Amino acid sequence: MKGNLDITINEEVLPADDESVQTSLTDQFRTQVLKRDRLRKEEEQVQVAYIRKFGKYIEERFSLQIECVKYKKSISFCQSCMNRNEPIYSDQLASSVESQISEYYEQLESIKAMAEVKSDPIPEADRLKVKRIYKEIALMIHPDMHPGQEFSKEMKDLWERAKDAYQRNDLDNIMETKALVLDLLKKEPTEDKDIDEQYLASKINALKDEINEIITGTPYRYKDILEDEEAIEDTIEEFNDEIEDLKTYLETLKEQFATFEITEVFN
């Protein structure tokens, strides 16, 4: 039974993938660059949709994983002190462990932020317009499409702005960005250099490999789960099983940590 996938899977209007109908290696190269960018966008949309769907389970599992890591590192610190016949000071223990797991807490906050993202669909006509304008900007200033071209910082900033607007389907922003790009191009026009065909062919193959890696990778394949109600139920069951296993493991670690004598330090 199919469920509702709360994301938009885009079908970019691009030159045909059939290389026999493309006029040059440059066309093929540009096609693959735009296709890769489209798939990257879809991959991010799928990942956000997945986290929105299973957010509470992902958060609980990751929080337990952090606690397990925290106790494992605490046990390791205590064991090292014992091996050196040194007392285990609470402040040194806390400082050592916190410095090693701060990155995990940042990841947890990122997961929470994505889980709270609200869907804000735009009209189909606007979405298609965003895609068209992004393609126009990409053909003008996409760094991958202009190898060897040195863009100014202002142009690079505009490209980052165009990418961000494309990711967020922000029509007003991407239209404004295009106007700024066109204005800047009058002052510093791009000048493509002749590119060796062998180099282009190798870049096309590399892009195809990157595209294949995206569509066969885990984030993109989440789409299969999100579109199937049975798969959703199975995934929730898997999350619950993992959570219970982590709770059991955490209790074991707590018991092991409790065997160490910690010297409290009071300021």
Per-residue pLDDT of 208-254, as tens digits, reads: 999 999 999 989 999 999 999 999 999 999 999 999 999 999 999 99
Task: Assess whether pLDDT exceeds 50 at residue 158.
Answer: yes
> Strand locations in 86-206, DSSP E?
88-89
Task: Assess whether pLDDT exceeds 50 at residue 13.
Answer: no
Q: Which residue has the tokens 């990942």?
A: 47
Q: How far apart are CA 89 and CA 86, in angstroms?
A: 9
| % residues pLDDT > 70 (the chain) | 89
Q: Give this prediction's pTM.
A: 0.73
Q: How far apart are CA 206 and CA 212, in angstroms?
A: 10
Query: Which of the two residues, 11 and 179, has the higher pLDDT score?
Result: 179
Task: Assess whether pLDDT exceeds 90 at residue 38.
Answer: yes
Q: Which residue has the tokens 């490209």?
A: 159
Closest CA to 134 of 98, 111, 166, 103: 166
Q: Which residue has the tokens 């870049």?
A: 203
Task: Assess whether pLDDT exceeds 80 at residue 11.
Answer: no
